[in-house]
Amino acid sequence: MIIMNKINLKKTIVKKMFDAHSSVGLAVGAIMYLICLTGSLAVFYPEFERWEQPNVAEYNEFSSSSVSQAYQEYLSKVEVPEKSVYVVLPTAEVPRAHLSDGEQEWWLNQDGTLGESIRKPWTEMLQELHVQLHLPKTLGLVIVSFFGIMLTHLVISGVLTHSRIFKDAFTLNWGGTGQKQQIDLHNRLSVWGLPFHAMIAITGAFFGLVSILVIIAASAFYDNDREALIADIYGEEPIITNAPALNVERSFANMAIADKQATPIYIVVQNIGSEKQFIEIAATLPQRLIYSEIYQFHADGEYIGQQGMANGPIGRQAVYSVYRLHFGHFGNVAVKLVYLVLGLALTYISVSGINIWLNKRGRVDNVNYLWCGFVYGTPLALSASLMASIYLSISAYWSFWLTLIFCLVIARTVKNLSKIRTTLLMTTAATLLTTIIGYTLIYGKLVLIPAITTINLCILFYVIVMVLHSRQLRRRDKIMAS
Amino acid sequence: MQLVAMIFFISSAAVCIGLSGIEFGSVYFLCILFILSCLLIFITKKSTTIQLLPQRNSPPSTPWSRKKKVKFLYYTLALFFLCGLCGVVLTMTLARLLIDSLSTQLAFSALAFPVFWALASVWLSCTDKLLRTSIMMTFSCALMFGGIFIL
């Protein structure tokens, strides 16, 4: 009797979890797909930035005198300088330096003179779609972070729903109509990618929603002084008065003495041109996930100390490690590729979750057509905005949303799943192929730069995958019809 | 067999951590685990010709009643505000109880609150008694909020 009760209780819990998992999954699935797909691609944003402006000088060495020259050029160019002015140094993935004041950005020539303004419309569109869904910044960030919470919810309820988690750990039924294959892949990818998905969800939620915690903690412990709280977590800035003239070269020389293992990634002059100005150099440390350690200097280059990101309180180190962990920007290119695969796996999970529900409904209506149009229309919209930003200099934002809406209208009008899929897939392939051809014609020999060639080859590979996938879908449709 | 798998599992984690340090190594290990398991799944996959799954034949959807609309709106708001507050306050109370340094308490809270938020939302979405659970959550929130100041 007790055993029977236990079995019934377990069944009830699993049933409730399953209902919670499916209702939340259905509510957030579409936006989750958008966030996951753009996030997977955004791992490669430095490479896309290079691809969008291939005609910028590339180099691996950028001397401290060039940095100094860049600041002089900046000060002579702008009338009122911004508070913080950054010079981001060349790295292996982006072998070009740039200067940014938060409002404007320029590429830098190797001698430190200002080059072209940075123009990366498509990459910017992609990043903003992932981070804020093209909504006003704070609102968008909070909403996207809330989806991080919902992803954590789905991870937890998904695990509790899965009663055969260990028994079926390696089971995959492949082929046929693809329905069973879809369920198996949804479950297997979710289970094995669980640590990654949980990490992405938690770190993603952290970015936008930590402000709630800041408000409560500031009122509880810091007399509503939020800046004091942030300084306590991330470390304080030095208080400078009567700052001497700027000497960037000396700060770099002192930096090399202070920490031999550190690799500088950017330098920032805070309060530039004022009596409070000082220098900060951010540098990565080997085998550390922290975004960077920050070394502080007086304006004349005299060493003040480090902010303690690498050796400060454990909490500070943990919080500052969140960024690289979420973006996948550590180690080498293999890590980025793995992040791409894991991100695409999460994208597949988002789509297959809704597909499973749609298949179980036992009917095909407008929801199916619109969902199909949305899933296959998003890559087309991304491709179309890429093409538009290269050929026509049309806003990448408008071209993305207009194409997506167009795809939904087409899907609603055609009312044939097989036709919608094939048409959108083949149009995506054609758009990308046209983009590559046009890009080659516009930039000529520059496409031979290894990094640019690699991206072009990846796009071509994706085109082939699209064509093959289209054939596979046609085969499945035939089986379904029979 | 399970013992061999466990030994292999632990030793590969140790190799990754030994080669790349605890931070990179643990991430590399989890990534490799995913890739290898996916490979194994694809190698051992079973090919079938036709797989027709049972369908529910659910009736066409009808417009939502007023009660259902109100419930949906309440659920959405509670998921964001009530569960959010509950998650944040619970994390901070736990941090106050378990950790000494204030900055580490805050860092722990910042990284752990999404989990507690999600747990609260799982609880809310599973319960049949939505109102009673919400009242319990509100009450415990008030209690823990007071606790943060007292501790």
Q: What is the pLDDT of residues B5-18, one digit of tens each?
A: 778 888 888 998 89
Q: What is the mean pLDDT of residues A228-240?
A: 86
Question: Which residues are CB-contacts of A374 (< 8 A; sequence separation ≥ 6)?
Answer: A30, A33, A404, A407, A408, A411
CB contact under 8 A, B31 and A189: no
Highest mean pLDDT among A236-240, A274-278, A430-434 belongs to: A430-434
Q: What percent of chain B has pLDDT over 90?
A: 23
- B84–A149 C-beta distance less than 8 A: yes
Facing B148 at nearest CB: one of A179, A220, A342:
A220
Give me the residue label for tokens 């690799």: A263
Cβ-nearest to B110 among A173, A206, A338 = A206
The overall average pLDDT reported for chain A is 91
Res. B1: pLDDT tops 70: no
Write out pLDDT tens, residues A98-107: 999 988 999 9
Identify the pLDDT of residue B50.
Answer: 63
A134: left (phi over 0), alpha (psi -120 to 50) or beta: left
Q: How many residues does chain A have?
A: 482
Task: Name the A residues in 264-303 with CB < 8 Å from any B CB.
Answer: 287-289
Q: Residues A125-159: pLDDT tens digits?
A: 999 999 999 999 889 999 999 999 999 999 999 99
The residue written with tokens 């770099």 in the block is: A252
Show the CA angle centred on residue A50, arms to residues A47 and A54, nearest 5°. Answer: 145
Tokens of A349: 């999970």
> Whole-angstrom Cα distance, residue B4 to residue A469?
39
Q: Which residues contact A477 (CB under 8 A, 6 or more apart)?
A: A418
Residues of A whose CB is below 8 A from B46? 171-174
Rounded distance between C-alpha atoms, residue A223 and residue A219, angstroms: 5
Q: Do B51 and A173 touch (CB under 8 A)?
A: yes
Backbone phi and psi for residue A332, each to the nearest 5 degrees, phi listed first:
-120, -165
Three-state secondary-structure class, residue A296: strand
pLDDT in tens, A52-110: 999 998 999 999 999 999 999 999 999 888 889 999 999 988 999 999 998 899 999 99
Q: Give the Cα separation of A269 and A300 in Å (integer).
A: 11
| The length of chain B, given as a count of residues | 151
CB-nearest to B58 from A160, A206, A361 is A361
For the segment A340-369, the average pLDDT, to the nearest whole number, is 92
User: Residue A126 corresponds to which amino acid?
Assistant: L
**Residue that wins the pLDDT comparison between A96 and B62:** A96
Q: Which residue has the tokens 């080498």?
A: A332
Please list the residues that pair with A99 across neighbouring strands: A87, A106
Q: Among residues A31, A213, A23, which one has the least CA distance to residue A140?
A: A31
Partner-chain residue, chosen from B38, B42, B111, that has the shortest CB–CB distance to A206: B111
For residue A377, give the nearest of A337, A414, A342, A322 by alpha carbon: A414
Tell me the sheet residues that pair with A280. Answer: A268, A296
Closest CB to A359: pick one of B37, B42, B53: B53
Share of chain B above pLDDT 70, in %: 91
Across the interface, of A24, A148, A176, the residue whose CB is closest to B50 is A176
Contacts of A332 in chain B (CB under 8 A): none
List the 82-101 stretch of A: residues with Cβ below 8 A of B. none
Contact flag A220-B149 (C-beta cutoff 8 Å): yes
Name the helix (H) or strand (E) containing A88.
Answer: strand A84-88
Q: Which residue has the tokens 């199916």?
A: A368
| Token digits of residue B136 | 């319990």
Contact present, B23 and A288 (Cβ < 8 Å): yes
Sheet holding A84-88, edge to edge: A114-117, A105-108, A98-100, A84-88, A263-270, A278-284, A293-298, A303-306
Q: What tokens appear for A478 in the block?
A: 């035939």
A104 CB near a chain B CB, below 8 Å? Answer: no
Instruction: Spell out the domain ranges in chain A.
Output: 22-53+129-233+328-361, 58-118+236-307, 363-482
Q: Is A461 an interface residue toward B (CB < 8 Å)? A: no
Radius of gyration of chain A (CA): 26
Q: Does A14 touch chain B (CB under 8 A)?
A: no
Contact A127, A88 (CB under 8 A): no
Q: What angle do CA A141, B70, A210 make, to 5 degrees?
A: 20
A403-425, pLDDT tens digit by residue?
999 999 999 999 999 999 999 99
Interface of A with B in 23-42 (CB under 8 A): 23-24
Do B10 and B29 form a contact (C-beta atoms < 8 A)?
no
Q: What is the rounded CA–CA span in Å between residue A23 and residue A20?
A: 5
| Integer angstrom CA distances of residue A422 from A215, A384, A473 | 50, 17, 8
A contacts of B53 (beta carbons < 8 Å): 179-180, 183, 359-360
Mutation for testing the B interface, residue in A17, A152, A161 having most B CBs under 10 Å: A152
SS3 A272: coil
pLDDT at B51 (0 to 100): 61
Q: Are A358 and A367 in contact (CB under 8 A)?
A: yes
Q: How far apart are CA B141 and CA A355, in angstroms?
A: 38
